[in-house]
């Protein structure tokens, strides 16, 4: 079986100005003492990417830089959008694509997610593709169908072994920023299903090698239990990634 390097990715969402972001990444980096057993990624808002990137480079922290979204065109009259080239110029390595908040509040669909994935991969950015069902879909027993459709739609036309260049995150919407946490064994089951879908599209080897994270209320108190599950390769963390102490304790689970 493939060994997959665990990943802890912090999605800072719309928090932290540039100066606060630098303070946070320094506090995380100084606490990490060079441990590389886990791949660590932080995804600040666009306005803090430059200053966080410079800090990471200067202080040589083992932390990768990620963005929270990317547009699919290189340049043009697209007011308010950020292109993959612009992210590359800031030494961004990862980019979150299709987060449920983008799907819910900004009209993101599997089709636009797919365009963003193609553009990101085409420019050597590594997408973190987010999928997950809402409460109504879960309660009506449609979780696996919804997630499979998001994976198939998102990955359409992305051929070959993408396991080194793309990460998937399963984030049940009803567990994001709420008091509800998915049971680790349930999250594991959905992730197993996602791996099967990836296998049917891109082959069993890709499916075994690609990392699939869990996201939704991951905290220092539940991380080790989640990470015991064989299919869960790490976490995409919102709230707890805004505290250096909490995020470092997640990394050292
Ligand atoms: P919380 O960890 O705050 O629930 O957020 C999860 C998330 O949306 C990460 O992308």
For the chain, domain boundaries: 36-251
pLDDT of residue 179: 76
Task: Please state the rounded mean pLDDT for residues 104-114.
Answer: 97
What are residue 232's phi and psi, to 5 degrees?
Answer: -90, 120
Please say if the pLDDT value at position 1 is more than 70.
no
**Interacting residues of 224 by C-beta distance below 8 A, sequence separation 6+:** 253
Indicate if ligand 1 lies below 6 Å from the C-beta of 229: no
Instruction: Say if pTM beats, i.e. exceeds, 0.95.
Output: yes
Please say if the pLDDT value at position 73 is more than 60.
yes
pLDDT one-digit tens code per residue, 155-206: 999 999 999 999 999 999 999 877 787 899 999 999 999 999 999 999 999 9
The CA–CA distances, whole Å, from 116 to 53, 189, 203, 213, 234 equal: 22, 27, 22, 20, 23
Answer yes or no: 171 catalytic: yes
Is CATH 3.40.30.10 the classification given to domain 36-251?
no
What is the DSSP track for 29-94?
Answer: HHHHTT--SSEEEEE--HHHHHHHHHHHHHHT-S-EEEES---SSSSSS-TT---HHHHHHTT--E
Answer yes or no: 62 catalytic: no
Indicate if ligand 1 lies below 6 Å from the C-beta of 239: yes
* Chain centroid to CA 213: 7
Backbone torsion region of residue 77, taken as left when φ is above 0, otherwise alpha when ψ lies between -120 and 50, otherwise beta: beta
Helices (H), the chain: 18-32, 46-59, 84-89, 100-105, 110-122, 135-139, 143-154, 184-202, 204-209, 223-228, 244-251
Q: Check 108, 137, 171, 229 and give the catalytic one.
A: 171
pLDDT one-digit tens code per residue, 123-133: 999 999 999 99
Q: Check 99, 137, 193, 229 and give the catalytic one.
A: 99
């Amino acid at each position: 079986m493939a060994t997959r390097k665990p990943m802890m990715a912090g999605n800072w969402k719309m928090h932290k100005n540039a100066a606060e972001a630098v303070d946070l990444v320094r506090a995380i980096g100084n606490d990490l003492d060079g441990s590389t057993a886990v791949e660590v990624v932080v995804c600040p808002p666009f306005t803090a990417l430059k200053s966080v990137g410079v800090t990471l480079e200067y202080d040589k922290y083992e932390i990768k830089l990620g963005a929270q979204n990317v547009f699919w065109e290189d340049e043009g009259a697209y007011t308010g959008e950020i292109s993959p080239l612009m992210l590359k110029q800031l030494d961004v390595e990862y980019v979150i694509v299709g987060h449920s908040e983008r799907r819910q509040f900004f009209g993101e669909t599997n089709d636009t997610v797919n365009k963003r994935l193609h553009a990101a991969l085409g420019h050597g950015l590594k997408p973190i593709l987010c999928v997950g069902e809402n409460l109504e879909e879960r309660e009506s027993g449609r979780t696996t169908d919804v997630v499979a459709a998001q994976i198939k739609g998102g990955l359409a036309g992305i051929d070959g072994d993408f396991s080194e260049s793309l990460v998937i995150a399963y984030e049940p919407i009803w567990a994001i920023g709420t008091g509800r946490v998915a049971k680790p064994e349930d999250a594991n089951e959905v992730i197993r299903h996602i791996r099967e879908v990836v296998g049917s599209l891109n082959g069993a080897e890709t499916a075994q090698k690609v990392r699939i994270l869990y996201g939704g209320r991951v905290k220092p108190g539940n991380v080790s239990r989640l990470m015991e599950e064989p299919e869960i390769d790490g976490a995409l963390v919102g709230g707890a990634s805004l505290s250096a102490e909490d995020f470092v304790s997640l990394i050292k689970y």
